[in-house]
């Protein structure tokens, strides 16, 4: 991998990783794990919908915090597996940076051992309990259209649409729609108008909800 494709990370005063490429934090400055639960899990009606073979997909793997929050939720309710978690990431973070970021979330850190070991060895497919994880490296605009999978629930977690517009464009959101199973859903922390319109055009009925913390609104949707 060339230097260009690696994440460039700085640390703010609260020890939250910030992408210097996108000038945006990887997760909420307030409480990333609580934000994930509110936005991505509850926004997709999870853990209630988990069942054998359930498929989660994500745009923007980052630290893997969303993936670990999903594992915690899945195991907490004792849902039947397997669970599939596929995530797209253009700028993979170094294992040491991921470990440092997860240090802020003891609950997630406690179940991160096998993930961090695999990641440090360069493995991008690994098993965490009953959760099969695959991280597909490369720009999602090229990788997602080539993916042969479908998701029951999407976590749309690019950096803010103003700073990372390439992860929120109509063509990529159309590819999200194309890779969503009938009755599948998405959730995202943003309620930006152009994102909502892109998701409507991609075949979702989009709803605006109250957001987490200081974010007034977020969006969820179900495939028509």
Ligand X SMILES: C[S@@+](CC[C@H](N)C(=O)[O-])C[C@H]1O[C@@H](n2cnc3c(N)ncnc32)[C@H](O)[C@@H]1O
With a CB cutoff of 8 Å and minimum separation 6, the contacts of 221 are: 185, 186, 187, 199, 204, 205, 206, 207
Residue 27 binding ligand X, by CB under 6 A: yes
Cα 208 to Cα 219: distance, rounded to the nearest angstrom: 5
| Residue with token string 């695999």 | 118
Tell me the CA distances in angstroms from 185 to 100, 101, 125, 214, one per residue in order: 32, 28, 24, 24
Take residue 175 and report the two structure tokens written for it: 């590819």
Only one of the segments 42-50, 78-86, 137-145, 179-187 lies at the binding site for ligand X (rule: CB under 6 A); that segment is 137-145
| One of 44, 46, 57, 60 touching ligand X (CB under 6 A) | 60
Take residue 66 and report the two structure tokens written for it: 């969303």
Only one of the segments 57-65, 70-78, 118-126, 201-209 lies at the binding site for ligand X (rule: CB under 6 A); that segment is 57-65
User: Which C-beta is closer to ligand X: that of 125 or that of 163?
Assistant: 163
Residue 90 binding ligand X, by CB under 6 A: yes
Cα 75 to Cα 209: distance, rounded to the nearest angstrom: 27
Residue 65 binding ligand X, by CB under 6 A: yes
Residue 35 binding ligand X, by CB under 6 A: no
How many residues bind to ligand X according to rule CB under 6 A? Answer: 23
Cα 170 to Cα 38: distance, rounded to the nearest angstrom: 25
Least distance CB 207 / ligand X (angstroms): 21
With a CB cutoff of 8 Å and minimum separation 6, the contacts of 48 are: none
Residue 159 binding ligand X, by CB under 6 A: yes
Residue 97 binding ligand X, by CB under 6 A: no
Least distance CB 34 / ligand X (angstroms): 13
Take residue 38 and report the two structure tokens written for it: 């509110």
Only one of the segments 70-78, 116-124, 159-167, 175-183 lies at the binding site for ligand X (rule: CB under 6 A); that segment is 159-167
Residue 140 binding ligand X, by CB under 6 A: yes
User: Which C-beta is closer to ligand X: that of 65 or that of 72?
Assistant: 65
Cα 167 to Cα 173: distance, rounded to the nearest angstrom: 8
Residue 185 binding ligand X, by CB under 6 A: no
User: Which C-beta is closer to ligand X: that of 26 or that of 154?
Assistant: 26
| Residue with token string 């470990």 | 99
Applying CB under 6 A, the residues found at the interface with ligand X are 7, 26-27, 60-66, 88-91, 139-141, 157-159, 164, 166-167
């Amino acid at each position: 991998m060339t230097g260009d494709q690696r994440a460039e990370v700085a640390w703010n005063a609260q020890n939250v990783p910030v992408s210097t490429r996108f000038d945006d934090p990887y997760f909420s400055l307030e409480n990333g794990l609580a934000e994930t639960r509110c936005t991505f899990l509850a926004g997709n009606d999870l853990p209630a919908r988990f069942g054998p073979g359930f498929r989660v997909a994500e745009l923007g793997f980052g630290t893997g915090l969303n993936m670990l929050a999903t594992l915690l939720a899945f195991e907490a309710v004792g849902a039947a597996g397997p669970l599939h978690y596929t995530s797209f990431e253009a700028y993979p973070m170094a294992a040491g940076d991921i470990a440092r970021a997860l240090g802020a979330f003891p609950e997630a850190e406690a179940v991160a051992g096998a993930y961090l070991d695999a990641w440090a060895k360069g493995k991008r497919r690994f098993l965490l309990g009953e959760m099969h994880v695959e991280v597909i490296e490369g720009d999602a605009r090229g990788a997602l259209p080539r993916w042969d999978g479908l998701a029951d629930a999407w976590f749309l977690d690019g950096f803010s649409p103003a700073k990372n517009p390439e992860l929120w464009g109509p063509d990529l959101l159309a590819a999200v729609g194309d890779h969503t199973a009938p009755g599948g859903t998405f959730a995202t922390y943003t309620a930006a108008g152009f994102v909502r319109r892109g998701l409507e055009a991609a075949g979702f009925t989009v709803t605006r909800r109250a957001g987490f913390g200081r974010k007034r609104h977020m969006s969820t949707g179900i495939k028509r």
